[in-house]
Structure 1
Amino acid sequence: MAEPLQLALNNAMSPTMEELIYFHDYAMATSLVIGLSVSITLMVITTTKLYDSALSDANQLEFMWTLLPVLVLVFIATPSMRTLYLLENQESPHLTIKTLGHQWYWSYEYSDLGDKTFDSYMTQELNLENGSPRLLEVDHRMVIPTNSLIRLLVSAEDVLHSWTLPTIGIKTDAIPGRLNQLTFISPRHGVFYGQCSEICGMNHSFMPITMESIPVKHFENWLHTP
């Protein structure tokens, strides 16, 4: 969960989010080096006679300002391709969950293991337990087993929605008539919160997502609980 006056991203709660944070820091460091280099070059050019002497021959200058951006793009694209590959890994999921977006709640279906299906509505403020976050807690959480590769199939029945869990590093649009999918793994026990990140109507901000990661043996008990 975010904290007051927090500047950095939330702590990573999955390998996917760890990769995204690494790439974010990598890209920001590269941008900082580029910004400092350009600023220093401009200061040197405008405060000395370097422009009249060294830069009077434009051929070398044109070669450099063409080559350097290409090298920068390659420098950034290399870790980006690796991150994209890891995000699209679809190999042998342990569990498939289908979620549908509605105005304004989510429904979940565990079709792989029986026919467990339920709707997930935001918990009203009067019904919140002590310590439960306002506007983020729901009456029925999506529950997954820890250390299991989960495949999530996402769609919608009315308008565009977006299923998002920032600390897990996953986000995908829920589009009527289309089935999107993503895979993720949660190596830690805990409760993770998110919200619909698509403006889907007047109650858009009252459409939270709550996922709970529990041990496999507890998950089996929950799965067979009415």
Structure 2
Amino acid sequence: MTAAASAAAMGGLTGAALAAQPTPWAVWSQAAASPIQGMIERFNLGITIAMVAVVLVVLALIAYVAVRFNRKANPVPSRTSHNTMIEVVWTLAPILILIGISVPSFSLLFAQADPARIVQDYDPAKTMTIKATGLQWYWNYEYSDHDGVAFDSTMLEDKDRTDPVNQPRLLAVDNEMIVPVGTVVRLQVIGADVIHSFAMPSFGLKLDAVPGRLNETWFLAEREGVYYGQCSELCGINHAFMPIAIRVVTPEQFQTWVAQAKDDLPAAYKALAAAIAKDKVAQAHGTAVEVAAR
């Protein structure tokens, strides 16, 4: 499949419900699109609140000491060498804070290894497996549960981007990974040459692709749309040009795409683009009817 043909096929996959990618001047992480990233955001918020509380308490203590025990207010300095209560407090307080942080931390770590901990009605039999292999400098995706559907995913060069608005520079690829919404995906990651790293911020994913070692994690996309990530391990001269694009579609759209992708990948993407456009028109019509009814 040539880059031009790929760009044309992927160009039809525009107007998605959501496109998650880096934005200028962003402070917080991208909006969560998976249960794990939701847990990461809540954990990050809790840590931030704890950090601010500690800083304010320490600042208040410094201000109190500066005012209460300066030379003018306290001309005769105390000769106290130690205080048992203070020693106990400043030893126990950090220990309790760290214990409080460790509880949600371990909960998050366990959930990253076992979807049954946070996915309601989790059924291992309905889990699909995708193997991502990092190469210099592109990704190969293999759908192990679907008769070995496999393809390379390479960054689109500027000359191949047919729709610059919906194909972001340095992030758009010729062949996106397609997954169904609401499905647990078992992701296996390995490197074919050097160490790479599969990172997808909206899903809370970051897993090293190490040659000779098959690492594994999972994700569940909660919303349809297209999500962008990048290789996050320095892997050579073109490390910055190794993006990851995952498109989340309905289960019906996925089944149609994967069945056709076995024989004709470009045609599968074109059919998927048409299905997405049709659903978008139907949703817009339904919204218009609902508004008119009001």
TM range (shorter): over 0.9
SS at match of 1:220: helix
What is the aligned length?
Answer: 226
The letter of the residue matching 2:48 is M
Aligned to 1:95: 128
Conservation of the 8 A alpha-carbon contact between 1:55 and 1:61? no
- Name the aligned partner's letter for residue 99 of structure 1: A
SS at match of 1:167: helix
Question: What is the alpha-carbon distance in structure 2 between the residues aligned to residue 109 and residue 202 of structure 1?
Answer: 25
Q: 5 Å matches for 1:1-226?
A: 1-49=21-69, 57-91=82-116, 92=124, 94-130=127-163, 131=165, 132-225=167-260, 226=264
* 1:54 positional shift: 11
Q: Deviations for 1:72-116, whole angstroms, at most 9, x for unmatched residues? A: 111111211221121111552610011110000100111111121
Residues in 1 aligned to 2:81 and 2:193: alpha-carbon distance in whole angstroms: 63
Runs of 4+ that moved beyond 3 A: 49-57
Distance 1:30 1:95, change over 3 A: same
Q: How far apart in 2 are the matches of 1:10 and 1:178? A: 29
- Call closer, same or farther: CA 1:223–1:81 in 2, change over 3 Å: same
> SS of the counterpart of 1:134?
coil
Give the residue type in structure 1 aligned to 2:95: V
Q: TM-score, normalised by structure 1?
A: 0.94
RMSD: 1.8
Letter in 1 for 2:93: L
Quote the offset at 1:60 in angstroms.
1.5
Larger radius of gyration: 2
Gaps of at least 5 residues in structure 1 are none
1: distance between equivalents of 2:157 and 2:145?
Answer: 31
Q: Determine the C-alpha separation between the residues in 1 that align with 2:141 and 2:217.
A: 15
Tell me: CA distance 1:195–1:142, structure 2 relative to 1, closer, same or farther (3 Å).
same
User: Are the equivalent residues in 2 in contact too, given 1:14–1:187 (CA < 8 A)?
Assistant: yes
- Report the alpha carbon displacement of residue 142 of structure 1 after superposing the two structures with TM: 0.7
Return 85-94 or 202-211, whichever deviates more: 85-94
Structure-2 change in CA distance of 1:182 and 1:54 (3 Å):
farther
Q: Which has the higher contact order (CA 8 A, sep 6+)?
A: 2
Q: 1:46: how far off?
A: 2.3
Higher strand share: 1
Identity %: 36
Query: Once the two structures are superposed, what CA deviation does each residue of 1:50-89 show, in whole Å capped at 9, x if it has no partner?
Result: 9956976422111111110011111111211221121111
